């Protein structure tokens, strides 16, 4: 049998301890201990200010909570399952410290608005950490891109050599994805930065509370307009998970490519030893474990999102105990995405591009075929016809083991008399890249412009 509950008044029998264990959340919601004490401090200050409680009672509670906060930071607080969750634990620790006056803290409040407040504060406090890691990664990418504007590599579609591109351009594509990720986290701040405190159980309270006061104390920009919504809304947590999932998806794409680029077949990149591992049996191995692990960890973040979406689905208003299941996924996602971003950043920052190998890959293929078709189109040949002519030359090249740039002029002229000596310059991969001046293209000037814009964006956000 378990001990008497703080809410045990109307009960004649007590649950078995294994049933209590099932209902308890203290094993995980103790991660919000700091937020819980902060929320309670704001609440009791409001009770004092409004005169709902006598000032000396409030002062005792405030002093007790402050002591608990210091003990928490010193790692001295111990929680117990008997007290179900973090809210009951803190209240019971407060009672041990200051006696029965602690029982006045819960005036005009319910655990329903209390837990929602804690959770909002928890997510709100973590958003800047994610945004900071994303900014660091963006800075790394811009720095690498700037060094590699003129590094030529194959650009792929369908994983087939398509057209040569600048490695800087490639890196800046990911910069753009992380920029949108950051913006999404910033957008979700608005919905997170709202105070549910004072919604009480679901309907508000008859006590003359001051919700704006507590919101301000807690640094919230706004208060929930509807008490039912306040205690049951978890959109802010879903937004966090959804943003985290999209961000992880971007990381998986990058990680997948890194794993390919370091393989024997590509060898475009060499990862630093500090971000790779060896094999216990094969002495030659250098595995891109970190890239694979980040790719793999996307699964749990998607799972966290799916878990909460499913928990929320069909939930009637207002609070239901189902909502206790809202936290672990978010905690897990926070614990996952922060190190993923940090490790990824270190890995890409120290990865060395094999410049010659990348360039060579663009010279031993037909990725300059579009250049030849464009060349003919510029000389008045309808593009469709030019496409056909070059297609024939490519076929011949494949059969005879010869690239377009290695075919003699008289051979090319047989395909089209419009082809002149100047074609050979345009068939060079760096020229193909350099000439793509269209806005947002891989032309060196365009890549540099992207980098300049990115630097200005990052500076402005500083």
| Residue 358 to residue 189: CA distance in whole angstroms | 41
Interface with ligand ARG, residue 232, by CB under 6 A: no
- What three-state secondary structure class fits 450? helix
Taking the C-alpha atoms of 32, 35, 41 and 44 in order, what is their torsion angle to the nearest 10 degrees? Answer: -70
Per-residue mark of binding to ligand ARG, 21-50 (x: CB under 6 A) = ----x---x---------------------
Which residues does residue 269 pair with via DSSP β-bridges, in sequence order? 353
188 vs 324 by CB, closer to ligand ARG: 324
Quick check: 89 and 30 in contact, CB under 8 A?
yes
| Residue 206 to residue 164: CA distance in whole angstroms | 70
Interface with ligand ARG, residue 321, by CB under 6 A: yes
Q: How far is the CB of 16 from ligand ARG (least distance, A)?
A: 18
- What three-state secondary structure class fits 406? helix
Pick the stretch among 54-62, 111-119, 162-170, 449-457 that binds ligand ARG (CB under 6 A): 111-119
Quick check: 421 and 431 in contact, CB under 8 A?
no
Quick check: 159 and 189 in contact, CB under 8 A?
no
Spatial CB neighbours of 246, under 8 Å, sequence gap ≥ 6: 181, 184
Interface with ligand ARG, residue 85, by CB under 6 A: yes
In angstroms, how far is CA 430 from the centroid of its own chain? 35
Position among 32, 65, 115, 145 found at the interface with ligand ARG (CB under 6 A): 115
Q: How far is the CB of 120 from ligand ARG (least distance, A)?
A: 13
Interface with ligand ARG, residue 10, by CB under 6 A: no
Quick check: 93 and 40 in contact, CB under 8 A?
no
Give the binding-site size for ligand ARG (rule: CB under 6 A): 10
Q: Are strands 269-270 and 352-353 parallel, antiparallel or unpaired?
A: antiparallel
Helix or strand (DSSP H, E) at 269: strand 269-270
Quick check: 164 and 362 in contact, CB under 8 A?
yes
Q: How far is the CB of 106 from ligand ARG (least distance, A)?
A: 12
| Annotation says 158 is catalytic | yes
Taking the C-alpha atoms of 344, 349, 354 and 360 in order, what is their torsion angle to the nearest 10 degrees? Answer: 80
Phi, psi (degrees; rounded to nearest 5) at 195: -90, 125
Interface with ligand ARG, residue 319, by CB under 6 A: yes
Q: How far is the CB of 25 from ligand ARG (least distance, A)?
A: 4
114 vs 242 by CB, closer to ligand ARG: 114
The interface with ligand ARG within residues 343-362 (CB under 6 A) comprises: none
Pick the stretch among 60-68, 71-79, 110-118, 273-281 that binds ligand ARG (CB under 6 A): 110-118
Q: How far is the CB of 5 from ligand ARG (least distance, A)?
A: 11
Pick the stretch among 108-116, 143-151, 155-163, 369-377 that binds ligand ARG (CB under 6 A): 108-116
Per-residue mark of binding to ligand ARG, 266-305 (x: CB under 6 A) = ----------------------------------------
The interface with ligand ARG within residues 117-176 (CB under 6 A) comprises: none
Interface with ligand ARG, residue 324, by CB under 6 A: yes
* C-alpha count within 13 angstroms, C-beta hemisphere, residue 307: 21
| Residue 349 to residue 136: CA distance in whole angstroms | 10
Helix or strand (DSSP H, E) at 436: none
144 vs 237 by CB, closer to ligand ARG: 237
| Residue 104 to residue 57: CA distance in whole angstroms | 8
Q: How far is the CB of 22 from ligand ARG (least distance, A)?
A: 12
Q: Is residue 77 left, alpha or beta, with left meaning phi > 0 and alpha meaning psi from -120 to 50?
A: beta
Pick the stretch among 96-104, 290-298, 316-324, 452-460 that binds ligand ARG (CB under 6 A): 316-324
Long-range contacts from 41-44, C-beta under 8 angstroms, 24+ separation: 41/65, 41/66, 41/69, 41/217, 42/197, 42/213, 42/214, 42/217, 42/218, 43/105, 43/108, 43/109, 43/114, 43/197, 43/214, 44/105
The interface with ligand ARG within residues 404-443 (CB under 6 A) comprises: none
Retrieve residue 178's tokens: 């992380």
Please tell me which residue in 80, 279, 360, 429 is annotated as part of the active site.
279
326 vs 363 by CB, closer to ligand ARG: 326
85 vs 371 by CB, closer to ligand ARG: 85
Q: Are strands 352-353 and 160-166 parallel, antiparallel or unpaired?
A: unpaired
| Residue 72 to residue 40: CA distance in whole angstroms | 14
Q: How far is the CB of 292 from ligand ARG (least distance, A)?
A: 35
171 vs 330 by CB, closer to ligand ARG: 330
Pick the stretch among 93-101, 176-184, 288-296, 315-323 that binds ligand ARG (CB under 6 A): 315-323
Position among 323, 369, 372, 423 found at the interface with ligand ARG (CB under 6 A): 323
Which residues does residue 287 pair with via DSSP β-bridges, in sequence order? 277
| Annotation says 437 is catalytic | no
Pick the stretch among 109-117, 267-275, 352-360, 453-461 that binds ligand ARG (CB under 6 A): 109-117
Active site residues: 158, 279
- Interacting residues with ligand ARG (CB under 6 A): 25, 29, 85, 111-112, 115, 319, 321, 323-324
């Amino acid at each position: 049998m378990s001990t008497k509950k703080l809410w045990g008044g109307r009960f004649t029998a007590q649950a078995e301890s294994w049933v209590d264990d099932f209902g308890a959340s203290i094993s995980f919601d103790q991660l919000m201990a700091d937020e819980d004490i902060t929320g309670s401090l704001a609440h009791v200050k409001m009770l004092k200010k409004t005169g709902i409680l006598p000032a000396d009672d409030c002062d005792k509670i405030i002093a007790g909570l402050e002591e608990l906060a210091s003990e928490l930071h010193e790692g001295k607080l111990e929680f117990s399952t008997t007290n179900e969750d973090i809210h009951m634990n803190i209240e019971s620790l407060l009672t041990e410290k200051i006696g029965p006056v602690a029982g006045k803290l819960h005036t005009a409040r319910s655990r329903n608005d209390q837990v929602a407040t804690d959770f909002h504060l928890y997510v709100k406090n973590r958003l800047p950490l994610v945004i900071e890691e994303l900014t660091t990664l963006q800075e790394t990418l811009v720095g690498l891109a700037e060094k590699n504007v003129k590094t030529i590599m194959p650009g792929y579609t369908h994983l087939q050599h398509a057209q040569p591109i600048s490695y800087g351009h490639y890196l800046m594509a990911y910069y753009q994805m992380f920029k949108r990720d950051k913006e999404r986290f910033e957008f979700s701040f608005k919905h997170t930065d709202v105070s549910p405190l004072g919604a009480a159980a679901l309907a508000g309270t008859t006590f003359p509370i001051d919700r704006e006061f507590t919101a301000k104390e807690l640094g919230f920009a706004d208060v929930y307009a509807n008490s039912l919504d306040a205690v049951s809304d978890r959109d802010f947590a879903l937004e966090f998970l959804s943003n985290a999932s999209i961000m992880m998806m971007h990381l998986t794409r990058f990680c997948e490519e890194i794993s390919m680029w370091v393989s024997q077949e590509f060898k475009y990149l060499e990862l630093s030893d500090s971000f790779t591992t060896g094999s216990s049996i094969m002495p030659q191995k250098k595995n891109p474990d970190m890239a694979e692990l980040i790719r793999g960890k996307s699964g749990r973040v998607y799972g966290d999102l799916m878990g909460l979406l499913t928990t929320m689905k069909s939930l009637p208003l207002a609070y239901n105990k189902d909502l206790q299941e809202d936290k672990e996924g978010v905690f897990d996602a926070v614990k996952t995405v922060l190190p993923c971003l940090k490790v990824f950043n270190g890995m890409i920052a120290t990865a060395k591009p094999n410049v010659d190998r990348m360039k060579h890959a663009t010279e031993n293929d037909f990725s300059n075929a579009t250049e030849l078709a464009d060349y003919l189109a510029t000389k008045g040949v309808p593009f469709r016809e030019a496409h056909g002519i070059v297609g024939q030359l490519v076929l011949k090249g494949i059969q005879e083991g010869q690239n377009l740039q290695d075919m003699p002029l008289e051979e090319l002229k047989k395909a089209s008399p419009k082809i002149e000596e100047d074609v050979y310059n345009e068939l060079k991969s760096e020229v193909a890249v350099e000439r793509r001046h269209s806005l947002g293209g891989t032309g060196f000037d365009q890549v540099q412009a992207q980098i300049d814009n990115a630097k200005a964006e990052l500076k402005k956000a500083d």
